[in-house]
Amino acid sequence: MSSGTPMPTSEPSEGSRTVLGAPEIARALTRIAHEILERNKGGTDLVLLGIPTRGLPLAQRLAQRLCAVEPSLVAADLVGELDITMYRDDLHRHPTRPIGTTRLPGAGIDGKTVVLVDDVLFSGRTIRAALDAIKDLGRPRAVQLATLVDRGHRELPIRPDYVGKNLPTSLVERVRVQLAETDGTDAVVISGGGVA
């Protein structure tokens, strides 16, 4: 997941550059939606679990695209929200994290193909926490991972099934995903300071 204060506009600050704008993000999500349907032979028994903050609106956008291809699907029945706060391995460093919401579709996740949706894949630790959280919620048939940006630097053996953009970065660079739902604009921005 990306970190940092949301930027109100897509204008990059000094020392940063926009690598994806709204049209590129829209195309990436459309491609990912088609890949999900192709790999899973349709949208039956799919659940998209968005990891807050920006994974949730991305999951909702993907669900809308899935429904555009398969009109028998209902977007609201496909999307859930997965809070991973209590499953993180850095709670001892930041013990006062607020607990978020976990909300599953009405049919749950048992026997379903769950697609975890997040904005940035970096070390893999957020996804490890998400896998631990899923284990306590049910037994899906399969778990897949969709991420808008894969920036590398994995610390765990986790690989996305669907990627909007592979974005090689250095450890000192910061990748920030901005979405209209949370930030007022759609952009992926790289800056030189800090680590995402």
Q: Is 54 domain-assigned?
A: yes
Tens-digit pLDDT profile for residues 63-81: 999 999 999 999 999 999 9
Q: Which domain holds residue 53?
A: 23-169
Tell whether 73 is covered by a domain.
Answer: yes
The dihedral through the CA atoms of 117, 38, 64, 30 has a sign that is positive
181 burial class (0-12, 13-18, 19+ CB within 10 angstroms)?
middle
* 187 within some domain: no
Largest Cα separation within the chain, whole Å, is: 48
Confidence of residue 105 (pLDDT cuts 50, 70, 90): very high
CATH of residue 80: 3.40.50.2020
- Spell out the alpha helix ranges (H) of 12-54: 22-39
How many domains does the chain fold into? 1
Across the chain, mean pLDDT equals 90
